[in-house]
Structures are given as structure tokens and as C-alpha cells.
Amino acid sequence: MKPDAAFSSAYSYSGPFQNLTLQPLPYPYEGLEPYIDTTTMKLHHDVHNKAYITNANAALAEAPQAAKSLTLLGLNHNVGTDLFGKPALNTAFQNNAGGAWNHAFFFKCMSPAGSSPSGNAPAQGGALAKAIDAAFGNFTAFKANFSEGATKRFGSGFEWLLVQPDSGNKLVTTSTPNQDNPLQQSAEVKGIPILTLDVWEHAYYLKYNATRPAYIKNWWNVVNWPYVEENYGKATQGVVPVVASS
């Protein structure tokens, strides 16, 4: 598959991906207590997320000049194309540019419990709530669908809620393994992410041990619904969330 010349009409981004740095969390390490513990957030952000950024920058240093002009988003979109030249570099960006984008987005998809004006759901009667009802029947059915996908993801990965601009802005859920995401050309199900859940063990094991379903159930208490609603509005216009600056 050849790389897209300008990402595609369904996606927007700007600015070069160079010297990516670790962005601070949008809340204190303890901000998601009691549902996600402080130690997990420190390790997740300061160790795991930082490693993906470090490795993505190392891969960028070896990449063709055409890749150096891309954003983090553009790098992800070109995973699975011929842009990177070497299969090993494609894999490096799949894992590390993917990991950098996925984690930055995941952290922004959460906020301290009780901070969303609409509570533990999107605003009743709002555009996202209506779209969820249209796609899944009701919010309860959507939560069950999303939670089931996250629970059944074999090994490590992410669960996603997507907007598909090429299908009339249809809402769908999907899961991806490892640090893959629906922005990558190699993804089986593509679309613009508006919500994600990290189900790697490092996201929950210190507090929940092997009980991933308990982690998923409690995670709903810290979903940042205003951010998800903002993402939905932009996604229907073909715009992907901006999660990190260069």
C-alpha cells in the first residue's frame, strides 16, 4: 500500500513530528482515585508512556525524510504503507508512535470522578447521546458492548469508540491488539477515535490484579464525557483529536 499524499480528506492534522516530549497528565496522579490508583498512574505515565515516546523519537531519527515532516498522527496513519521503507521501521512506528498516541489519548479520555457535568454519561439529548442511541439502542447497551469488547480483548490492547466519516459518521466499537489503533492503515476497522480504554495489564494490575472486568466496570466512573463529546463533534467533520504537541 502506498502512503497517502496528504493523510486523506477524512482526517486533519498540522505541524511536524519532531522531538516529541512527554506531556503532563491533565490531572494529578491521584486524580482518578479511588478507581485508578496513584502508583499505577505514575508508572503508566512516567515509565510506560515515556518509553513509547523515547522509542518513537529514535525511530524517527532513522526514518526517511518524508516521515520526518509528519505529525504523530500522520505517522500513525502511514503505518502499513511503504513510507517507512524498512519493515522494521514500520513495526517500530506501529508499536511506538502507536503507543505514544494511544496513551496520550487515553489519559485525556479520563477525568476525576464527578467532574463531568452530565455525570457518568454524555449529556442527555446531546448529539453524542443521540448518536449512541441510534447506533446501539441506548446508553446501557453501548456500555455493555464496549465493556464486552474490552473484556474479551486477548492479551494486551485497547477498546475504541469510533466515528467512521466514510460511512455517514457511523458510530462503531472495535478493539486492537498491542499498540495498534484505528488510525493506522494496517487496522482491520478504521475510523476516528473519540474514546478509548487501555486494557494492558500495566493499566490496572496493581489495583485489580487479574480482574480486568472489575477495572472496566470502575473505569466508567472516570470517563471524561465533555472531551468525548468534543471529539464526536470534531470527528463528524473529519477531524482527529490532537493529543500531543511536537
In the predicted structure, residue 89 carries a pLDDT above the cut 50: yes
Where is the binding site, in residues? 44, 103, 198, 202
Q: CA 214 to CA 19: how far, in whole Å? A: 37
- Mapped onto helix, strand or coil, the DSSP state of residue 1 is coil
Q: What is the 3-state secondary structure (H, E, C) of 118-180?
A: CCCCCCCCCHHHHHHHHHHCCHHHHHHHHHHHHHHCCCCEEEEEEEEHHHCCEEEEEEEECCC
Cell numbers that stand for 9 in this block: 480528506
| Mean pLDDT on 44-73 | 91
pLDDT one-digit tens code per residue, 154-203 = 999 999 999 999 999 999 999 999 999 999 999 999 999 999 999 999 99
Instruction: Please state the residue numbers annotated as binding site for Mn(2+).
Output: 44, 103, 198, 202
Separation of alpha carbons 232 and 241, rounded Å: 9
DSSP 223: B
Distance in angstroms (rounded) separating the CA atoms of residues 155 and 16: 33
Alpha helices in the chain (DSSP H): 38-43, 50-62, 65-68, 72-77, 87-108, 127-136, 139-152, 205-208, 212-219, 225-235
Residues 110-151 have pLDDT tens digits of 999 999 888 899 999 999 999 999 999 999 999 999 999 999
Cα distance between residue 214 and residue 211, in whole Å: 6
Mean pLDDT along residues 76-105: 95
| Rounded CA separation 58/203 (Å) | 24
pLDDT in tens, 204-221: 999 999 999 999 999 999
pLDDT band at 14 (very low <50, low <70, confident <90, very high): very low
The per-residue pLDDT for 70 is: 85
Largest CA distance in the chain: 49
Region 69-75 average pLDDT: 87
- What is the average pLDDT value for the chain, to the nearest integer? 90
- Residue 69: per-residue pLDDT: 81
Output the nine-digit C-alpha cell for 231: 471529539
pLDDT band at 18 (very low <50, low <70, confident <90, very high): low
Tell me: pLDDT of 10 over 50. no
Residue 175, pLDDT score: 98
Residue 208's alpha-carbon distances to 90, 120, 146, 164, 196, in angstroms, are 34, 21, 19, 33, 19
